[in-house]
């Protein structure tokens, strides 16, 4: 019986869910490991080294041990690099970054390297940490993601048609986000 060696990587917390009384299931977007899921055992205990180290859209350096079977790896250590607290300035900003994470998840498989997706997500978070969200930002993110995945042909401009043509499921958060952005624009 061999044990996996711990792996160090860097990534964004893109989802978390309480598991049992004291643990968390944490979803990550990393450059080298792609989208992945870890179990943070005991993370909710006040004396845990993981306590208060895991929150949405924090950029973290972390160590995990690969699962022998399945996709649920074990989270060993976390160190917050950048919490991007400016993202919490408005609900629409959080909705935007949540949509971006859901869109990447819809277009990719877990445990596959995603360096370009990671860099695009990082740029979007850095932008939204300092500035308000906009329809233009959403359009640019969608277009660039389609380009990265080779789904955008010359002259394509309708995101939904391209996604439907390639049988990609568009996250429902998109409609909610576009309504919010349209409402904000009409209030200006």
**Can you give the pLDDT at residue 2?**
47
Q: Which of 29, 181, 10, 179 is nearest to 107 (CA)?
A: 29
pTM for the full model? 0.91
Residue where the block lists tokens 């969608």: 142
What domains does the chain contain, in order, with CATH numbers? 7-82 (2.40.50.140), 85-187 (no CATH)
**Can you give the pLDDT at residue 163?**
81
Mean pLDDT of the chain: 91
Task: Give the Cα separation of 116 and 140 in Å (integer).
Answer: 14
* Contact criterion met (CB below 8 Å) for 128 and 169: no
**Can you give the pLDDT at residue 183?**
85
pLDDT in tens, 66-103: 999 989 999 999 999 999 999 999 999 999 999 999 99
pLDDT in tens, 109-158: 988 999 999 999 999 999 999 999 999 999 999 999 999 998 887 777 78
* Contact criterion met (CB below 8 Å) for 178 and 138: yes
Q: How confident is the model at residue 14 (pLDDT cuts 50, 70, 90)?
A: very high
* Contact criterion met (CB below 8 Å) for 95 and 48: no
């Amino acid at each position: 019986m061999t044990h996996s060696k711990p792996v160090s990587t860097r990534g964004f917390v893109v989802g978390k869910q309480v598991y049992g009384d004291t643990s968390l299931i944490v979803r990550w977007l990393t450059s080298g490991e792609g989208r992945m899921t870890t179990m943070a055992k005991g993370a909710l205990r006040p004396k845990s080294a993981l306590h208060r180290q895991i929150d949405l859209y924090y950029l973290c350096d972390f160590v995990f041990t690969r699962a022998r079977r399945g996709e649920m790896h074990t989270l060993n250590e976390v160190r917050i690099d950048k919490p991007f607290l400016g993202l919490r300035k408005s609900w629409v900003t959080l909705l935007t970054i949540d949509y971006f994470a859901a869109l990447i998840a819809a277009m990719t498989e877990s445990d596959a390297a995603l360096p370009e997706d990671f860099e695009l997500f990082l740029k979007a978070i850095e932008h939204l940490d300092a500035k308000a969200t906009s329809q233009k930002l959403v359009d640019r993110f969608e277009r660039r993601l389609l380009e990265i995945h080779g789904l955008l042909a010359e002259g394509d401009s309708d995101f939904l048609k391209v996604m439907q043509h390639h049988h990609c499921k568009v996250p429902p958060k998109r409609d909610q986000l576009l309504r919010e952005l349209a409402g904000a624009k009409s209030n200006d």
